[in-house]
Amino acid sequence: MTDAQWNNLLEVIDGKPPSGAPVGFIIDSPWLPNWYGISILDYFSSDELWLKANLSAIETFPEVMFLPGFWSEYGMCTEPSAFGAKCIFWKNEFPFADKIIKKPEDIDDLTQPDPETGGLLPFMLNRLVKTQSAIESAGHRIRFSVSRGPLNIASFLMGATELMMALMMEPDRIHRLMRIITDFLKRWHEIQRHTFPSIDGIMMLDDIVGFIGEDDFLTFGFPYIKEIYDAAPSKVKFFHNDADFAVSVRHYPDMGVNLFNPGVQMGINEIKEATGNRLVVLGSIPPRDVLAAGTPEQVRQATVALLNELNDRSRFILSCAGGMPPGVSTANIQALLQAVSLSP
């Protein structure tokens, strides 16, 4: 993000009236490599191609805030790799991290890895170190420390179904697992902030929050996620959950979140009401059916309709619901931007 974009983001978070409707998108490996014309494997394995793809996005859409911006990652393998998960990389499919916890008792022997040396994390960090000068030469800075959330990582380490069962059957062991992952993530975000003093935001993604009820969220999600946000002395505390968030969203401001990227389960006005308009909503054009599969005219119509439905444009950034999905064309993004530029 540029200095101007960052300052605009801070103003939106502060609730200052926007001029027009700011636009932002989460972009990473599901969309960016194929949009740029390379394979996902090339994107992960070549720092040069990774940089060129990100530079192309900011040059093609200079008016868009890309979040977190120059995201160095290896898909869902990123954090589980530090715990020793076997990572599977296909040429042009999303990578997969195989589970390492075969039964709940295995948690007893799990130890906290060092994020400075564990798995793919040093490669992720070193990519940013090597490309920092080029990023800054383009007028951007590294603004966010980034990770998946503790429940999300736990679901990869032991399997989503197995995690759901263990929440009920082995709560003490799941609390131990949450403690190990939470301490690991606090250290990982600290390393990112130390490496790049320009970081003043933290972004976490945890869709597993959307698969559990409110009581389980308050027991196994809220306290650990809040602890990670509380440990980060950052102005922007960004949370992504595009699974069902109806029972948890009202707790997000108290969890420390001030910027939220939802799914399509609730409208913007409903989210604002549920949270007392205490956080910025980054959303919510339907990602697959409209932004990816729709025509430019359908994207334009959906954008106009969403903006017209808003009761209050404060603490709002126009985006899709969730991250940018695969297959979104340049023409469709341009249609959205044109609709915003013509909006009163």
Residues in the chain: 344
Two tokens, residue 77: 């393998």
Quote the CA–CA distance of 343 and 309 in Å, as a whole number. Answer: 12
pLDDT of residue 343: 81
> How much is the pLDDT for 17?
82
Domain that holds residue 302: 3-341
Q: For each of the chain's 344 residues, which pLDDT tens digit applies?
A: 999 999 999 999 999 987 778 999 999 999 999 999 999 999 999 999 999 999 999 999 999 999 999 999 999 999 999 999 999 999 999 999 999 999 999 999 999 999 999 999 999 999 999 999 999 999 999 999 999 999 999 999 999 999 999 999 999 999 999 999 999 999 999 999 999 999 999 999 999 999 999 999 999 999 999 999 999 999 999 999 999 999 999 999 999 999 999 999 999 999 999 999 999 999 999 999 999 999 999 999 999 999 999 999 999 999 999 999 999 999 999 999 999 998 87
| 3-class secondary structure per residue, 121-146 | HHHHHHHHHHHHHHHHHCCCCCCEEE
Total structural domains in the chain? 1
Q: How many angstroms from the chain centroid is the CA of residue 42?
A: 22
User: Rounded to an integer, what distance in angstroms lies between the CA atom of residue 187 and that of residue 108?
Assistant: 21
pLDDT of res. 102: 96
DSSP H or E stretch at residue 153: helix 150-158
* Distance between CA atoms of residues 93 and 44, nearest Å: 12
CA 74 – CA 76 distance, rounded (Å):
6
pLDDT computed for residue 339 by the predictor: 96
Q: Do residues 256 and 277 touch, judged by C-beta distance below 8 A?
A: no
* Res 21: pLDDT: 85
Rounded distance, CA 153 to CA 119, Å?
14
Task: Round to whole Å and give the CA distance between 103 and 90.
Answer: 27
pTM for this entry: 0.96
The C-alpha atoms of residue 334 and residue 145 are separated, in whole angstroms, by 29
pLDDT at 51: 98
